[in-house]
A and B are shown apart, each in its own frame.
Chain A
Amino acid sequence: MENALPSSSVSSTLEPVLALLAYSLTKLETGFYQIPGSAVVARYVKSSHQNDPGRTILEVILIIFAIRTLLQSRTRSDRGGKHYIQFGDKEVDELVDEWTPEPLAQPLTEWEQKELASIPVIAGPNGPKPKLVSTGKTVTNLASYNFTGLAGNEHIKERAVDTLRKYGLGSCGPPGFYGTIDVHMDLEKDIAEFLGAEAAILYSQGYSTVSSVIPAFCKRGDIIVADRGVNYAIQKGIQLSRSTVRWFDHNDLRSLEDALQAVERDRKKRKGPLTRRFIITEGIFERDGEMVDLPKIIELKNKYKYRLILDESISFGTVGRTGRGLTELYNVPASQIDMLVGSVANGLCSSGGFCAGSTIVVEHQRINGTSFVFSASMPALLAVSGSEAITYLRNTPSTLSALQENIRALRAVLEKTEGIAILGHRASPIVHFSLRSVAPASLSPASAATPAGKESFDVDGEERILQEIVEDALANGVMLTRAKYLRKQEMFEPRPTIRIAMTSALTRKEVEKAAGVVKASIARVLSRRR
């Protein structure tokens, strides 16, 4: 420490300033030595100096560099990067003036406007026979997810009102911050017990469940082997997870095994560390109603040591003796499935989704499932409706058999219909059908030129025909819907189909009659086209 003593040569005007400086320096020095441990620091600095100014300078530079790194802003800036172009202020102003952004949203095309206008709006309660706002007429509903006929169940409504009077509607908080209501815990327990899983966690929207479950477990560097035909939510979950993905052919377990072997070979060749590996697929596929062979997939997953994320959004509440889903249908214990995702909205006619699994898996999501943590919990009355629906399913297996009977009746009629191909498993509660032949050449000269291969279809042309069928059926009292997708955003473009959602709330006669209407509509539209 040097002392800056005022030299006699300095003019008298500067003297007080210098005196103050000297005074403050000595003050600082004594102050410094009063700090406990300061002597050690001083000794260290002195000994490291050791008449070697180069070393001191180096150390000072190092310290400055360290401080600079610490203080650098976290927001990444490519200023000074290789591609950065220096502009003057005026030039920037000019560039700003010149720049014209695209509109925030492209206006709807004519076809899109028609599509938006064609969405049926239901007056009053939804159910097997709702009334439409547009015509005021009652139609048979083959479009809505009301598989076990729980929509409009009087007992559930009563319980919902009771719950409303005790809990109000909204929960007003995320689960972590006083948004966990006892009825949520009850429903979680009910679901876990119903499935035979250790625990379950409740999300407040069915769609956001799986896209949050996947990134909670799959991280960068992990391996996902997934079916090509998985629904959009799974695709988004995979995208968010940033894991390495390998796709296998839709519902083709041989292709899956090939993929698993390829991953194994890859790992052995690279001698990489053991990473988490997941198989992701759906129980019943939302886009075509195919059903996965669960025992076989479990065998594969155990053989290759993968974890299984199974999305039962369609199959939970619709297949099996009491609607427990694929695990009940194939008689596989639910504990075999590491993460079993299902929808309370579809299967139990309420709202929300769940993930069932081991306690560890569930508790992990309570902190890491983004749409669980950062979203308000489900309204209490919807949770109670879910619980009531489970009780209903447990006590009335007859509704599941009625549902299956209706599916058989529907398929029997449609199978006899010309010009369409019925997709999916025969037990699936959603029945998709597509046009059998390639669209007429007049509609799409481009696709007509290509040979009618397995995968070639003309999306726009087929959608138009299917939409005509939907509208014709509606005019005749049956509400249908095309399967809707975000075209060009799906990973693998699905073939256009009409999706029928069967319900146990219709009698067999009514189903047959409605199927007859659909059949007639198909015949009418196709004949008009030819």
Chain B
Amino acid sequence: MALRPSSPASSLFSKKKQPLTTAASYLSAVHEADQHARARSIDRSSSPTPNSTPALSLSSSVTASSEDTVLHEDDESGLNYPWTPPTSEQVFSTVHTEFGHCANESYRCVSQHDYANPVKEKEIEEPPYYILITTYLSYLILICFGHVRDFFGKRFAKKYFTHVMSHKGYAALNSDFDSFYTRRLKARMDDCFSQPITGVAGRTVVTLDRYSTDNNWTQIYTGTKTRVLNISSYNYLGFAQARGGCADAVEESIKRFGISTCGSRLQGGTGELHGVAEALVAKFVGMEDALISSMGFATNSTFIPALVGKGCLVISDELNHASIRTGVRQSGAQVRMFKHNDMENLENLLRDVISQGQPRTHRPWRKILIIVEGLYSMEGTLVNLPRIIELKRKYKFYLFIDEAHSIGALGPHGRGVCDYFGINPRDVDVLMGTFTKSFGAAGGYIAGPKTLIDALRLRGQSGAYAESMPPPVLTQVMASMASIMGVAPPTSQSSKSGVMSTPSSTSTLRLGYIESEEHPCPAPASAIPSWLSLPPHLQDGSEGRTRLRRLAFNSRYLHAGLSKLGFITYGHPFSPIVPLLIFNPGKMSMFARMMRARSTPIVVVVVAYPATPLVTSRVRFCVSAAHTKEDIDVVLRACDEIGDVLDLKHSHGERWAVDEICKRSVELVEGVAAVQAA
């Protein structure tokens, strides 16, 4: 655990102490931006909205908000200020700790499938046998120790075991068998999970320091904080920001619409923003219509039961998310699973189930729905969409793609797997996704043909029972989405007849949908509310494009770098999720602790059984567009050193030294496979 002493020196001093040679030029850029901000704040102060906390809301620059965004600390970690001076505009619009400043145009890449020369997913490498054997042995030892401790604990330390033993005529609250894993294995490394944070979970995050004196039974908070490099949050496009155009729009919407919509969509909780946002989402994903739900998990768990029912079959990838399983279980449909991403297995299964029909009765299925994820959150693997679409033409099933992780993160336009593979989204029946990840918001959507979505509005559980999405969240969705798409300037009258200006036919839940000519098109100016004004670099989509290309570069760089270092990684090179295999359970917690104890502390996510198979414990990096190339270097260097200590480098491929990797990053990203120009 990294207990960094918090320095009493003010941020002003720490800035002067900067060891960087480029500090002077950086400061001048900051100064310039600050001048801008002040000039703007004078303009703004004439508006009648008084603000109780001017330091918080008026200026967007780093210096004015040092209290909140920059801790009083020395910048030894290199987290607060960039190594290379940013462009003035970046300083003006973003805070380096939230969204890294990276002006080097060569650190960009385009996420697009090249059919002639496809980027191959890495083949899954097996570790040496001694690793497997020691892994099984460590679990065996842990289990034996656990049972011994349980045996004595239940007899001599009863107060810790009340919930797993029946007492006073009550059965045990938790079965001691079910909770064994949690109590005896997970509890040993609880300090690596559920780490509380404060502030924005952007490029860096501030963690609340804590320690435990009783083997993680309780955690004691020291009251100090540490700023760490965050390579764990699902902040793919870096929209988790407290400053900048999106946050400004959200602030405006809070003033205009308040916090809550007070009720479910069908019972007095529908606001005008719902319809606007849904039309924009439909346009973004290229579907006819879309429906928004206030929680990502609930999007799956409440709408799948409305799609299938008794007499239907759901064919589900074996690694599908828990929310999909919850939804399918509620629906009453039969479920069959196929091997993860194994198209041959899927086709055999399809031939089998269609020819056999329903079990026992042999009646034909009413419908067959295949549910897959675009990007798998634990593996970083991409669905083989072109093949599934081929199968779909032949076997006439319906296709549901959960794009929770892929939407925004993949494709040259950020429109998810369909965009990445260049497939028309209308070839898919239902596209589902969440706003938590790439858009820095919350909740989820489901998109499809209008008849289907209308049916879901009424027949899905969310419409009648669940609270609708609050206006600030809707605004964040619209603002971030519009800045990825870019807003087309209003051209002629045609846009007048567009989305916003149809009050005659209102009183419907959604607003009119404009047939798009070509799919990945910018948002028409009429598709976002008139009060939502984005700064120019978001408005024209240039910032969005940069973010997409930075994300693609960072993802490929980390993938390539880790495998050149000799680690076993999973996943697609364009996936922002990069799992690094650790295998031994003991090394897992060590890895997380050692990453945190470095001079530039890094927080990582470690996952083990039951989220993964027993042996393949892993650390999962989530790359973001907010990371700079230097951040990825820092991660690679950390992995390199820790990997040597923990003996994690078991890959057979060619190895490079870490310095060489950092130096030849561009070559590495482009060299893995020919990358087509944008």
Contact = CB atoms under 8 A, between A and B. Distances in A.
Interface of A: 73-79, 83-85, 87, 91-92, 95-96, 99-108, 112-113, 115-127, 132-134, 136, 141, 143-146, 150-153, 156-158, 160-162, 164-173, 175-182, 184-185, 204-208, 211, 217, 219, 222, 231-233, 236, 239-240, 274-277, 305, 307, 343, 345-346, 349-351, 360-361, 364, 366-367, 370-371, 373-376, 378-379, 381-382, 385, 479, 481, 483-486, 499, 501
Interface string B464-497: 1111001111001000000000000000000000
A208 B260 contact: no
A180 B195 contact: yes
B201 A96 contact: no
Contact of B242 (A112, A165, A307): A165
Contacts, number: 411
Contact of B355 (A92, A127, A307): A92
Contact of B267 (A143, A180, A184, A361): A143
A75 B452 CA distance: 31
21 contacts: A96-B354, A105-B451, A119-B265, A134-B507, A150-B260, A161-B254, A166-B68, A169-B442, A170-B436, A208-B466, A219-B178, A274-B169, A274-B171, A364-B163, A371-B301, A374-B321, A379-B441, A479-B268, A486-B459, A486-B461, A499-B267
A366 B465 CA distance: 24
Contact of A305 (B169, B321, B337, B454): B169
B455 A178 contact: no
A435 B316 CA distance: 46
A136 to B, nearest CB: 8
Given A145-B263, A168-B242, A108 B458 contact: yes
A107 B458 CA distance: 11
Contact of B472 (A107, A127, A379): A379
A167 B250 contact: no
Contacts of A146: 260, 262
Given A156-B259, A345-B260, A168 B354 contact: no
B366 to A, nearest CB: 5
A75 B318 contact: yes
Interface of B: 52-53, 56-57, 65, 68, 98, 162-163, 166, 168-175, 178-179, 182, 186, 193-202, 205, 207-208, 230, 232-235, 239-243, 246-247, 250-251, 254-272, 274-275, 294-298, 301-302, 306-307, 318, 321-323, 326, 329-330, 336-339, 349-352, 354-356, 359-360, 362, 364-369, 394-398, 429-430, 434-437, 439-442, 448, 451-452, 454-459, 461-467, 470-473, 476, 503, 506-509, 603, 605
Given A165-B242, A236-B330, A374-B297, A158 B367 contact: no
A165 B244 CA distance: 10
A260 to B, nearest CB: 13
Contacts of A105: 306-307, 451-452, 455-456, 459
B297 A171 contact: no
Contact of A360 (B169, B173, B175, B467): B173
CB-based closest 9 A-B pairs: A143-B268, A207-B466, A134-B507, A375-B297, A205-B295, A144-B262, A144-B268, A376-B436, A345-B467
A283 B257 CA distance: 31
Nearest to B467: A345
Given A165-B243, A217-B173, A486-B461, A481 B398 contact: no
A499 B266 CA distance: 12
Given A151-B262, A170-B436, A119 B270 contact: yes
A285 to B, nearest CB: 14
B268 A501 contact: yes
B260 A116 contact: no
B466 A165 contact: no
A155 to B, nearest CB: 10
Nearest to B174: A364
Contact of A179 (B201, B307, B318, B321): B201
A485 B170 CA distance: 36
A204 B268 contact: no
A343 B467 CA distance: 10
Contacts of A499: 267
Nearest to A349: B260
B603 A178 contact: yes
Contact of A178 (B195, B364, B466): B195
B577 to A, nearest CB: 12
A370 B240 CA distance: 25
Contacts of B318: 74-75
A13 B503 CA distance: 92
B468 to A, nearest CB: 9
Given A121-B271, A143-B263, A376 B98 contact: no
Of listed B171, B240, B259, B436, residue having the most chain A CB within 10 A: B259
B369 to A, nearest CB: 8
A307 B364 CA distance: 45
Nearest to B504: A134
A162 B53 contact: yes
A168 B338 contact: no
Given A165-B247, A170-B476, A484 B197 contact: no
Contact of B508 (A108, A117, A126): A117
A391 B429 CA distance: 47
Contact of A168 (B98, B274, B395): B98
A99 B352 CA distance: 13
Given A162-B56, A485-B464, A170 B435 contact: yes
B272 A121 contact: yes
A171 B435 CA distance: 11
Contacts of A73: 339
B375 to A, nearest CB: 16
B651 to A, nearest CB: 26
Contacts of B274: 121
B208 A376 contact: no
B388 to A, nearest CB: 16
A381 B471 CA distance: 12
A375 B296 contact: yes
